[in-house]
Chain A
């Protein structure tokens, strides 16, 4: 039962986790908007979520441990720490080697924040559903 409860919330909670992680990366980009040679980083949210949910591992996603013997431990795969972080390709690169474009970063950050709030709303409605089911009224 506990497992299915976990599964019931898993998608949204992983999404929230990844959103929080992405906001950290985007905040790094904005913080380093004036740092020479800093390269802006981000990750593909869809791919990261699929990888976190253990879905399409074959097409990218987190790094997998290769097991050559059945006795080997599987290692920690999936998880939100394994999002494929990539460098952003700048539209207008600056001469000091910095690739942060503030408008892009801020737009992405706001978008990320709004989607985070949306996910929160979904999770809280899921929790409400669970409460209704528990009370049975």
Chain B
């Protein structure tokens, strides 16, 4: 029954989006962490989403069946944001370099906030989808009664 695959697919999206939300929380919490455990300033973490075959025919090796197959989403890696760090002039800081600049994390707070909104909306959307699929399945179970 394909409808139950909707749970797998939407469920994978829920997991992925919550991981993204976790990354956002980590980034916002450390937006001002000039020194982390490794002595370097914190670097923003970004999740990488990849579509993965899921649901119908996911286990089969039939290449002709691939086109119509359900695709879930998975976080395949969490990368350090390659953006350059923010340099803040603060000669009083013990972390300041010779010119008086402190290397701050490359977290873009505005970007993280939009990321958060996007993730929570996507989470809601997938939740709605699961609810719809659940209702349909319940109605199907009641068929003929």
Question: Could you give, for residues 33-62 of chain A, a 1 whenever the CB lies within 8 Å of some chain B CB and a 0 otherwise?
Answer: 111101001010000000000000000000
Measured CB to CB, the closest approach of chain B to A128, in angstroms, equals 8
A20–B2 CB distance below 8 A: yes
Q: A21 vs B68: C-alpha distance in the bound complex, in angstroms?
A: 9
Q: Is B143 an interface residue (CB 8 A)?
A: yes
A24–B144 CB distance below 8 A: no
* A-B pairs with beta carbons under 8 A, tally: 105
Kindly identify, within residues 39 to 90 of chain B, every residue whose CB is under 8 Å from any CB belonging to chain A. 49-51, 54-57, 64-65, 67-68, 70-73
Q: A24 vs B56: C-alpha distance in the bound complex, in angstroms?
A: 9
Measured CB to CB, the closest approach of chain B to A44, in angstroms, equals 12
Q: Which residues of B contact A41 (CB under 8 A)?
A: 67-68
B126–A31 CB distance below 8 A: yes
Measured CB to CB, the closest approach of chain A to B13, in angstroms, equals 4
Closest partner residue, chain B, to A34 (CB atom): B49
Q: Which residues of A contact B12 (CB under 8 A)?
A: 31
- Does more than half of chain B's interface fall in helix, strand or loop, or is it mixed? helix
Measured CB to CB, the closest approach of chain A to B32, in angstroms, equals 27
Q: Which residues of A contact B6 (CB under 8 A)?
A: 23-24, 27
- Does more than half of chain A's interface fall in helix, strand or loop, or is it mixed? helix
Q: Which residues of B contact A110 (CB under 8 A)?
A: 132
Q: Is B122 an interface residue (CB 8 A)?
A: yes
A28–B71 CB distance below 8 A: yes
B70–A27 CB distance below 8 A: yes
Q: Which residues of B contact A102 (CB under 8 A)?
A: 125
Q: Which residues of A contact B50 (CB under 8 A)?
A: 35
Kindly identify, within residues 114 to 144 of chain B, every residue whose CB is under 8 Å from any CB belonging to chain A. 118, 122, 125-126, 128-129, 132-133, 135-136, 139-140, 143-144
Q: A101 vs B71: C-alpha distance in the bound complex, in angstroms?
A: 16
